[in-house]
Amino acid sequence: MTEQTLQFQAEVARLLHIVTHALYSQKEIFLRELISNASDACDKLRFAAQTDETLWAGDADLKVTIGADKAARILTIADNGIGMNRDELVANLGTIARSGTGEFLSGLTGDAGKDMALIGQFGVGFYSAFMVAERVEVVSRKAGEAQAWHWASDGSGQFTIGEAARETRGTTITLHLRAGEDEFLEPERLRHIVKTYSDHIALPVLLQDGDRTEALNAASALWARPKAEIEPQQYTDFYHHVAHAFDDPWLTLHNRVEGKLDYTLLLFVPGRRPPDLFEPSRKAQLKLYVRRVFITDRCDELVPSWLRFLRGVVDSADLPLNVSREMLQHNPVVARIRQAITRRVLGELEKKAAGEAEAYAGFWENFGAVLKEGLYEDAEHREVLLKLARFRSSSRDGWVSLADYVAAMKDGQTAIYVINGEQLDQLKRSPQLEGFRAKGIEVLLLTDPVDDFWLSVVSDFEGKPIRSATRAGADLDGIAGGADAAKPEDKAEGAALGTLVALLKQTLGEAVKDVRESKRLTDSAVCLVAGDGDMDMHLERLLRMHQKLDMASPRILEINPSHPLIRRLAERATQPGAVDALADAAQLLLDQARIVEGEPLADPQAFARRLAAVMQQGL
């Protein structure tokens, strides 16, 4: 088959354009990326060879070999890992399958400096080779296959692919360095870069210099070494390696457990939120090793999914080396390690929450929404998670814990009040909060989709019921403080109000569950609340949005007896012909309440017609 020329996916072409044209101070990271890929390829081979020993083909000595040819100005990085066939070369080195890419690219501004900083955080993997090379060639032969393939590109929109010769499995990357990049041919420089970025991966990185071969890294799995011998920077470098990340870890946990079970953990909580944290496919990403041999990074059972932001390594001495993915699924050893990791991480979080509130708030902003999934899914850790949870509040800035909330409760207040919605500002303006605000009662503002779910299973905190401020029973009468919503003389007269309520009920019929005088409104004329046994309004909206629910339950319409509009309507309700005269007004009151709630109008045309009619009368 002859050589073919193919186009890069548009996103890759854009990325390459930036990579090749921007000046980037940390070009050396290309080597870390290529070594990291080689290391992944070796891990993959080891895993595949567990079910098919022939893949070893007599060469079980996995390694990465760097070669520098000063005369030709060529740097090569070779591995004897899993390799790629033609289709894989085209897919892996012609597109970006990584989740978060779209988001990342749309964040690019065109300003080289800013974009480069973003690239630094995202990581461009293989494509970083073009930072130093004007032409990149890849020759690869997949383990178990006979044909090798040659991929080449100068990074400008297209690449070629054709047949090649390679004696053994694996991949060789050849970089034809740009003018001025000769430093990357110097053994001293290479030694330094490998030490810095790849010292503690479990795979040897060798430098081939003529006939001499020199090991550049310690290749001692960092987690297996005593804590006391490890510098903080080494942990950070290792985190960059295992997590493919560029930030500093927020928390590093390294410990060795010996006893009934024998295992080592080196876990990191990232300092920033990975872009794909909420992808449905996103599961735990810890790497599982058995006595320093990589087994898999797909063992979802190692941590609960609400700790899926954890990165790092678990190395067990109790699992058999030939453990298969299926065997890991209901494995008692894995289950106990999971227990231990969960307790350990929660314990550390509690310590941070207590001792370093500000740092903890940063963590919570990144991962709180994930942790809250545990409130819903994991009854066993619910109590601790409730203590760890932080919330926005209607009456103070910053993050509030449930204990903070309880400490600030008013005399006579027995419940913890919350309100759910999409956005903070919108929630702060909710009419249902008016009465709470007038009495100085704090309401927690919940804006993560997961909040609706855990609230359906968590009914109280330390004996204080958690109640939605949008529920009928949120009765403020018994709570001291604030001015009463209205002085009697400012209120609609009782009998007239009763007539109005009856009229509204009659006119609105099935569209509402009930109409009643409100204790919670001070400024708005009306609002909707959920009946005591009914589904939370925001949850229902969310379920409808995701087509999990197709009916809308009728709500209770509350009217504010001291609002001038309601007072006028109440007066009018007692006069002859009121039912006809107020028919439009009644519908408009309900529509208005729905709009404020973010509910769709049942009949927008009718709404427009009524509004026009009422405005016309007013002129």
Q: Interface residues with ligand ADP (CB under 6 A)?
A: 33, 37-38, 41, 79, 81-84, 92-93, 98, 125-126, 171, 244
Residue nearer to ligand ADP on the CB measure, 244 or 338: 244
Q: How far is the CB of 298 from ligand ADP (least distance, A)?
A: 14
Q: How far is the CB of 86 from ligand ADP (least distance, A)?
A: 13
Q: Which does 84 bind (CB under 5 to 8 A by kind): Mg ion, ligand ADP, none?
A: ligand ADP
Exposed / middle / buried, residue 409 (Cβ in 10 Å: 0-12, 13-18, 19+):
middle
Distance, CA of 277 to CA of 289 (rounded, Å): 23
Q: From residue 441, how far is each of 13, 269, 412, 427, 486 by CA, in Å? A: 56, 36, 11, 15, 17
Q: How far is the CB of 312 from ligand ADP (least distance, A)?
A: 17
Tell me the pairing of strands 170-177 and 74-79.
Answer: antiparallel
Residue nearer to Mg ion on the CB measure, 33 or 137: 33
Which residue's CB atom is positioned nearest to Mg ion? Answer: 125
Exposed / middle / buried, residue 231 (Cβ in 10 Å: 0-12, 13-18, 19+):
exposed
Residue nearer to ligand ADP on the CB measure, 83 or 435: 83
Residue nearer to Mg ion on the CB measure, 65 or 394: 65
Residue nearer to ligand ADP on the CB measure, 33 or 442: 33
Q: Which does 79 bind (CB under 5 to 8 A by kind): Mg ion, ligand ADP, none?
A: ligand ADP
Residue nearer to ligand ADP on the CB measure, 7 or 255: 7
Distance, CA of 595 to CA of 450 (rounded, Å): 24
Exposed / middle / buried, residue 618 (Cβ in 10 Å: 0-12, 13-18, 19+):
exposed
The answer to whether 409 and 480 are in contact (CB under 8 A) is no
Distance, CA of 211 to CA of 440 (rounded, Å): 80
Q: How far is the CB of 173 from ligand ADP (least distance, A)?
A: 7
Q: How far is the CB of 113 from Mg ion (least distance, A)?
A: 24
Annotate 425-477 with three-state secondary structure: HHHHCCHHHHHHHHCCCCCEEECCHHHHHHHCCCCEECCEEEEECCECCCCCC
Distance, CA of 178 to CA of 174 (rounded, Å): 13
Exposed / middle / buried, residue 526 (Cβ in 10 Å: 0-12, 13-18, 19+):
buried
Distance, CA of 325 to CA of 347 (rounded, Å): 29
Q: How far is the CB of 178 from ligand ADP (least distance, A)?
A: 20
Q: How far is the CB of 431 from ligand ADP (least distance, A)?
A: 49
Q: How far is the CB of 233 from ligand ADP (least distance, A)?
A: 23
Residue nearer to ligand ADP on the CB measure, 105 or 346: 105
Closest to 531 (Cα-Cα) out of 486, 575, 471, 459: 471
Annotate 79-118 with three-state secondary structure: ECCCCCCHHHHHHHCCCCCCCCHHHHHHCCCCCHHHHHHH
Q: How far is the CB of 103 from Mg ion (least distance, A)?
A: 18
Q: From residue 35, how far is each of 78, 126, 139 by CA, in Å? A: 9, 10, 16
Which residues of the shown chain bind Mg ion in the complex (CB under 5 A)?
A: 37, 125
Residue length, the chain? 619
Q: Which does 291 bind (CB under 5 to 8 A by kind): ligand ADP, Mg ion, none?
A: none
Residue nearer to ligand ADP on the CB measure, 169 or 555: 169
- What the block records as the tokens of 116 is 């480069």
Residue nearer to Mg ion on the CB measure, 119 or 525: 119
Q: How far is the CB of 45 from ligand ADP (least distance, A)?
A: 9
The answer to whether 558 and 527 are in contact (CB under 8 A) is yes
Distance, CA of 465 to CA of 478 (rounded, Å): 16
Q: Which does 181 bind (CB under 5 to 8 A by kind): Mg ion, ligand ADP, none?
A: none
Could you say which DSSP state residue 58 is in?
A: T
Which residue's CB atom is positioned nearest to ligand ADP? Answer: 125
Q: How far is the CB of 212 from ligand ADP (least distance, A)?
A: 24
Residue nearer to ligand ADP on the CB measure, 96 or 388: 96
Residue nearer to ligand ADP on the CB measure, 81 or 368: 81
Residues 6+ apart with CB under 8 A from 616: none
Q: Which does 81 bind (CB under 5 to 8 A by kind): Mg ion, ligand ADP, none?
A: ligand ADP
Q: How far is the CB of 26 from ligand ADP (least distance, A)?
A: 16
| H helix or E strand, kind and range, residue 366 | helix 357-371
Owner of token pair 């207590």: 354
Residue nearer to ligand ADP on the CB measure, 221 or 245: 245
Residue nearer to Mg ion on the CB measure, 313 or 476: 313
The helix, strand and coil proportions of the chain, stated in percent and rounded to the nearest 5, come to 45, 20, 35
Residue nearer to ligand ADP on the CB measure, 89 or 416: 89
Residue 382: phi and psi, rounded to 5, are -60, -45
Q: How far is the CB of 110 from Mg ion (least distance, A)?
A: 26
The answer to whether 104 and 117 are in contact (CB under 8 A) is no
Would you give the end-to-end CA distance of the chain in angstroms?
83
Q: How far is the CB of 159 from ligand ADP (least distance, A)?
A: 13
